[in-house]
Structures are given as C-alpha cells and as structure tokens.
Amino acid sequence: MERFIENTMYASRWLLAPIYLGLSIAVLLLGVKFFQEAIHTLPLVFSLKEADLVLVVLSLVDMALVGGLLVMVMLSGYENFVSQIDIEEGKEKLVWLGKLDSGSLKQKVAASIVAISSIHLLKAFMNAQQIPDNKLMWYVIIHLTFVLSALGMAFVDNMNKH
C-alpha cells in the first residue's frame, strides 16, 4: 500500500506539465501584444514626443522581461519538478538549462520582478506630472518591498548554502 501511495504521489508531478505548457501559450499571447504595440507605434513615431516614445520602448522592454521570466519558469520548473528535458545532440541548448535548481529559480524570478518593477517605476516617474504624489510614494514603497524581498531571499539562500 505504501509503495502504491509513493508511486502515485511521484507520478502526480506530471499534473504540472499542462501548467508549464500553458505558460508557453502565455508567451505567445505576450508576443502578440508586443507586436501589436510596436505596429501601433510605428506610424506615430514622427509625431510622438521623445518621452512618449521612451514610455512605449519601456513597455516593450517590460514585455520582453516578462517573456524571459515566463520561459525561465516554464523550462526550469518543468526540469525541476516534472522531467529532464532531453535535447538532441547537435541542437542548440540554453546554457542555464538543467543548472537552475528551485532556489536559483526563486532568485532569478525575484530579480526579474525587481527589474520589471523598476521599469514600471521609471514609467511612473516619467509621467510624474499626471500622477498624484501619494500614488508615486506607494509605487516607490512597493518597489522597495520587492527589492528587500529579493535581497532577503538571496540572503537566506546564501545562509542555507553554508
């Protein structure tokens, strides 16, 4: 009976596979939004103010960072919790694939969240004239919370390694 329960629990890791596959759909949807924004901006590029163009570019960078985060979580999560990804010999393989354990993945996710938050904060400061001061203050507080959380997780992970 114990063996059956253990085998069933171990096999249940495959329930995560559709979730990781779903993240690839999220990457596709993000790509559609990225190109929609880029194509929408192209005809306006000569009439846009420099600050507005920078905001659009920051939005595109933000989407690229989120896309990279999704790919990282999708592939390393699958490898860590479901099954090893076997890449055929001679095919291109990502350098970090198979090297990110769950602790490293958490740190990378936290760093990506800080980077994404930084872009949002920069966009808010570029529009500071239209945003009330108390709202800007909350943006900064939330961003600092992300930074402190990432530093705290890195510190705890570093302590666990020693």
Query: Cα(130)–Cα(120) distance, rounded to whole angstroms?
Result: 15
| Predicted local confidence at residue 37, as pLDDT | 95
142-150 contacts at long range (C-beta below 8 A, 24 or more positions apart): 142/117, 143/114, 143/117, 143/118, 146/110, 146/113, 146/114, 146/117, 147/114, 147/117, 149/110, 150/107, 150/110, 150/111, 150/113, 150/114
Q: Where are the beta strands (DSSP E) in 3-112?
A: none
Query: Could you list the pLDDT tens digit for every one of the 162 residues in the chain?
Result: 999 999 999 999 999 999 999 999 999 999 999 999 999 999 999 998 888 898 899 889 989 989 998 998 899 889 888 988 887 777 777 777 777 777 778 888 888 899 889 988 888 888 788 888 888 899 999 999 999 999 998 888 888 777
**pTM confidence score:** 0.78
| Predicted local confidence at residue 143, as pLDDT | 93
Query: Cα(117)–Cα(145) distance, rounded to whole angstroms?
Result: 10
